[in-house]
Structure 1
């Protein structure tokens, strides 16, 4: 049994394909297949059920693969121990961020982070919460920046800040003269929503539970995967949408005329840095956390916000 063989079975389990696993491992498929067959022969068990597509692990194979992940993680800790002793932060960190947060948070932190740590390579993907969680557990990501709580015992959530939701209303709306709004007042408005699969869609529906129960056919509009598109839908087609507060920080005066905060208790989402239980790259992730906390406005970090209407 070799560490390379363990890497190969993890790759096949991750990508559910010998061809793709070989490509991601930078070897030919025959080489990868031969090494896995050698491992299976030495262990006396079948790790994969090759009769199924996509490829799946056998029952004992799944146990072996989980142990292989643990073995390789312990190996990588040796590299991290060395990295921790070095003055200049280097290496690579892979981050998953939800799309309703990434465009508004990342530009505020990436420039300064890369300037401070020029040897650190960042790889960032915008993905849904479900995909980020899956890739964290598979070891494809080092950390995620997500809306929490996730209620997953395999993950560690480190709260970073608390972000309010605001209403963005059309100039033709009956609420245009109001300084604040409530979920009840949105009952007669056309509401533009994100597509299925976005956690913010569910959070908005939770804010408007009364609306959903009373008249869902007339009050909900299914539309897009982009927060920016939601805003444009309101501008061009009337109605209302609900936006995360970070997205309005760079609004001009005309755009802010369309923004309304909710009456107390304001709906708030918790944003956390999420890792697996035995995560690596602790030093790099701690510096990333510090950079985020320095970038967001102080009011977002207030513990009082946590006491408002949490939306999960």
Structure 2
């Protein structure tokens, strides 16, 4: 059994087709098929059902492919260990990030990070919390930035607390206030993200609205959105309000003619952004370079957590 054979098996599972798997591995289809057959003979089991389109693994094949992915990831780590031991920021860091955070946080520092560490390859992927956590557990992501504490099996690292603000239409009663408290928020005319987003539950809690209220808002309009930009424009072009994390507030919206930002009275509600990973020692120099650049980019209204610095 060889790493090449395992890589070919993973490619067939990924692409569902021997020809496309061969193209992805830069070999001919007969060469790839021959190596798969050798692997099957050695294991004494058929790994793929070739009668189906797309090709799918058998039950035993599914387990072999799953383990092959682990083996290949660990083998790839060997080449990185020498650089990590010397504290070098060389290699690939795969980072998952929430869609309510990524567009507003990443542009603040990733270009500077790339210039400072030219041998660091940064792979950024957006996803919802549940998907990010599963991918960190499976180590198809090295780390993820999330806004919940619902993953006790992963290693958390609090990074910063991001205040929330009310974004209200100019005609809304809240627009006349200098500050609001959670109990001031009405239950019937708020725009919020769909249930899959952690910010959805936090908004419902602040508005003291039952979860059954769902992602509805004003005058019989119901919305299921995964995009904060949609909620902003609904406020600006109609009525109601939404809650925005501080990083999602661009300067031009602070003086928008049709909407107004209203801060919360202290103590303002916040969402805590955490970095989670499966193994604390995994790619430590790369993670530290990423976190250092991230924290240095934060504006004053975002509070860095006391334990956000380098890990031991």
Deviations 1:57-104 (A, max 9, x none): 444444433433343333223211222255753333222221111121
Instruction: Give the Cα separation in 1 of the matches to 2:19 and 2:208.
Output: 46
Residues 20, 250 of structure 1: alpha-carbon distance in 2 compared, 3 angstrom cutoff:
farther
Q: Which residue of 1 aligns with 2:269?
A: 267
- Check the 8 A contact 2:155/2:276 in 1, yes or no: yes
Instruction: Give the Cα separation in 2 of the matches to 1:82 and 1:145.
Output: 27
Provide the aligned length of Structure 1 versus Structure 2. Answer: 303
Give the alignment's TM-score, normalised by structure 2.
Answer: 0.80
- Structure 1 spans left out of the alignment, 5+ residues: 305-312
Instruction: Give the Cα separation in 2 of the matches to 1:14 and 1:119.
Output: 28
- Residue 227 (structure 1) shift: 1.4
Residues 103, 2 of structure 1: alpha-carbon distance in 2 compared, 3 angstrom cutoff:
same
Matched, 1:180 2:142: no
Residues 10, 177 of structure 1: alpha-carbon distance in 2 compared, 3 angstrom cutoff:
same
Task: Name whichever structure is richer in helix by fraction.
Answer: 1
Matched, 1:103 2:106: no
- Check the 8 A contact 2:254/2:261 in 1, yes or no: no
- Check the 8 A contact 1:12/1:21 in 2, yes or no: yes
Q: Which residue of 2 aligns with 1:245?
A: 246
Of 291, 294, 297, which residue of structure 2 is paired with 1:295? Answer: 297
- Check the 8 A contact 2:195/2:215 in 1, yes or no: no
- Structure 2 spans left out of the alignment, 5+ residues: 308-312
Residues 215, 143 of structure 1: alpha-carbon distance in 2 compared, 3 angstrom cutoff:
closer
Deviations 1:128-172 (A, max 9, x none): 33333344345443322222223262x332221121222100001
Give the alignment's TM-score, normalised by structure 1.
Answer: 0.80
Aligned Cα root-mean-square deviation (Å): 3.3
Instruction: Give the Cα separation in 1 of the matches to 2:43 and 2:138.
Output: 23
Task: Name whichever structure is richer in strand by fraction.
Answer: 1
Q: Which residue of 2 aligns with 1:160?
A: 159
Matched, 1:7 2:10: no
Instruction: Give the Cα separation in 1 of the matches to 2:250 and 2:51.
Output: 54
Worse-matched range after superposition: 97-106 or 184-193: 184-193
Instruction: Give the Cα separation in 2 of the matches to 1:277 and 1:217.
Output: 40
Partner secondary structure for residue 174 of structure 2: coil
